[in-house]
Each structure stands twice: as structure tokens, then as C-alpha cells.
């Protein structure tokens, strides 16, 4: 199978590595509008060649779109128009707007909507590595709208990437993603902003930063270019989660202000339940 990967960042680059190495793709054609990233991808031998988007779509049996959500929503209709008899799959972390855009596309059945839940706080082809997807979960959305052949190709790809596939409609996907992924990024970005602002008059503030702080602000290193379009396309769901989060922070503040130790103890013990959930989740991931 010949694969074309459009967008050679962390995701596209890591896909390229493992799809080639594990024999899924005999040839990988890359498309990358950022010249420096393209050169890095060639130097690291992530792809066999770099071509224009049009050429890329022609050359691949499978077209993998691994660009930020704003570029993806604009590119996908045109790519799909040129993809008769091929399979097109995207990797975006937000799905419903794209689903609506492609709903009535003549080649809709050649498109598979997917979202691999894998990544790091780094981006670009330099950050790509083999094994990024191993053991993680990927979501395939609205599978009934994809043709059997295309769905089979994508399922096979994710099986080669050692991912566990779950199925969901794109609207549910976006609600869930807002809760378990998008809000984590916002809480982390804003935490970083809060402490960075304080640093302006308290230079020593980071001397005390330890593992706990590092863990909660890790996601604040994430790429603006990737995340702004996600926040834009998942605006409604994110607002709901963010309102809930802010309300609960206000409530937590009230408990602290009023010295309500019992209320704080129960709230924290309730939050502690995340332990068991993460433990179960970890077990699932390790299977």
C-alpha cells in the first residue's frame, strides 16, 4: 500500500515512521507546506519524497491528513473530491464540524473520521518517534458513513499502530474530548499564565517549582497553532466544561475562605476517586 501523509508534524511524522517500519506502507509520500519541517522530515527519512498536495493525493492509496483542524476542514473537501477509489483519513481532535462539512460529499464513504489519542507536549517532525501510538486509544467517528473498504484500511492501519479502537458519533466525541482533553489544556495554559505573570515581580517564583507543578503545566507547552482551531471548532462544548470548571473553582474558593474543612475534605476525597479510574484506564491501555 502507498500512503500519503499531509502534514509532517509530531503525528504525521510518527505515523510515517511506524507505518513504514512495520510494513503497512511500501512507500510514504509526504506533503508539508512548512519548508523547514519538510527538510527535517526528509533528513530524518520519515518520508520517501516530498510533493505538492495535488501530487500527494494522486500518489497515495491511503491519504492521511495530519494537519491542524483549521487547515484540515478547508483541505478535506478538495482532497476527497480527488480520491475516488482511495481512502482518506484525518487525525483531528475535534470532529463534528468536519463531519458536517463532509456530510453530503459525493465521496463521503471514502473518508474515515478518526482521532488517535496520542501526542506529547512537543510538535514538529523533530519530535516524531516510533511507538508514539502503541497501546493508546483511537476513536473512529460515524463509522456507518464510511464504506467498508475504507473502514477496513483504517482499522488495519490502527492495528499496525497497536491502537485500541473505540467507536462514537462525532457529536459525542466532541463532548468527551472537551471534558478529558480540551479542558486539561486550558487549565494548564491558564495556570502557566497565572504563574508567569507573578514572575514579573517575584523573580524567584520558579525556584520552588517541583514535579507537581511540572505535571500540571506540562500541557501548557503545547502548540498554539494546533490548539486555537480546536478551541474554535469545539467552542460550544468547551464553554460548557469551562463554566462548570470555573463554578467549581469558585465553590472551592468559598470553602477555603469560610474555613469549611469538612466540605474541603469531602471535595478532595471525591476528587481522589480519579485514582481508581486512572488505574482501570491504565490497565485497559496496557492490554
Q: Which of residues 215-274 bind a copy of itself (CB under 8 A)?
A: 215-225, 227-228, 231-232, 235, 238-239, 241-246, 248-250, 252-253, 256-257, 259, 261, 264-265, 267-274
State the minimum distance, in angstroms, from the CB of residue 134 to a copy of itself.
Answer: 12
- Residue from 30, 98, 278, 287 touching a copy of itself (CB under 8 A): that is 278
- Residue from 144, 275, 286, 287 touching a copy of itself (CB under 8 A): that is 275
Which residue, 33 or 228, is less far from a copy of itself as judged by CB? Answer: 228
Question: Is 74 a binder of a copy of itself (CB under 8 A)?
Answer: no
What is the C-alpha separation between 164 and 161, in angstroms, rounded? 9
Q: What angle do CA 231, 232, 234 make, to 5 degrees?
A: 65
Question: Is 106 a binder of a copy of itself (CB under 8 A)?
Answer: no
Which residue, 33 or 45, is less far from a copy of itself as judged by CB? Answer: 33
Question: Is 100 a binder of a copy of itself (CB under 8 A)?
Answer: no
Which residue, 144 or 210, is less far from a copy of itself as judged by CB? Answer: 210
- Residue from 181, 200, 283, 287 touching a copy of itself (CB under 8 A): that is 181
Question: Is 177 a binder of a copy of itself (CB under 8 A)?
Answer: yes
State the minimum distance, in angstroms, from the CB of residue 181 to a copy of itself.
Answer: 6
State the minimum distance, in angstroms, from the CB of residue 162 to a copy of itself.
Answer: 15
- Residue from 187, 200, 286, 287 touching a copy of itself (CB under 8 A): that is 187
- Residue from 23, 35, 106, 207 touching a copy of itself (CB under 8 A): that is 207
Which residue, 3 or 98, is less far from a copy of itself as judged by CB? Answer: 98
Q: 25: closest CA among 64, 65, 83, 81? A: 64
By CB under 8 A, the residues from 137 to 176 that bind a copy of itself are 137, 139, 166, 168, 172-173, 175-176
Amino acid at each position: 500500500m502507498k500512503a500519503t501523509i499531509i502534514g509532517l508534524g509530531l503525528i504525521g511524522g510518527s505515523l510515517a515512521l511506524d507505518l513504514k517500519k512495520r510494513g503497512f506502507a511500501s512507500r510514504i509520500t509526504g506533503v508539508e507546506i512548512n519548508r523547514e519541517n519538510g527538510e527535517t522530515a526528509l533528513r530524518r527519512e520519515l518520508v520517501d519524497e516530498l510533493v505538492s498536495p495535488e501530487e500527494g493525493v494522486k500518489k497515495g492509496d491511503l491519504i492521511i491528513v495530519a494537519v491542524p483542524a483549521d487547515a484540515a476542514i478547508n483541505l478535506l473537501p478538495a482532497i476527497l473530491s480527488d480520491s475516488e477509489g482511495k481512502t482518506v483519513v484525518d487525525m483531528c481532535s475535534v470532529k463534528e464540524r468536519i463531519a458536517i462539512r463532509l456530510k453530503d460529499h459525493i465521496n463521503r464513504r471514502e473518508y474515515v473520521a478518526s482521532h488517535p489519542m496520542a501526542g506529547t507536549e512537543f510538535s514538529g517532525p523533530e519530535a516524531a518517534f516510533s511507538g508514539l501510538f502503541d497501546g493508546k486509544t483511537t476513536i473512529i467517528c460515524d463509522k456507518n458513513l464510511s464504506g467498508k473498504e475504507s473502514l477496513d484500511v483504517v482499522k488495519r492501519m490502527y492495528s499496525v499502530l497497536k491502537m485500541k479502537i473505540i467507536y462514537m458519533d462525532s457529536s459525542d466525541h466532541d463532548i468527551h474530548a472537551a471534558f478529558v482533553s480540551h479542558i486539561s489544556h486550558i487549565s494548564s495554559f491558564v495556570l502557566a499564565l497565572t504563574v508567569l505573570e507573578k514572575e514579573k515581580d517575584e523573580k524567584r517564583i520558579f525556584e520552588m517549582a517541583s514535579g507537581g507543578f511540572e505535571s500540571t503545566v506540562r500541557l501548557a507547552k503545547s502548540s498554539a497553532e494546533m490548539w486555537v482551531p480546536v478551541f474554535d471548532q469545539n467552542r460550544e462544548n468547551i464553554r460548557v466544561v469551562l463554566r462548570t470548571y470555573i463554578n467549581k473553582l469558585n465553590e472551592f474558593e468559598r470553602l477555603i475562605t469560610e474555613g469549611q474543612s469538612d466540605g474541603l475534605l469531602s471535595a478532595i476525597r471525591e476528587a481522589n476517586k480519579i485514582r481508581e479510574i486512572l488505574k482501570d484506564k491504565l490497565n485497559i491501555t496496557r492490554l
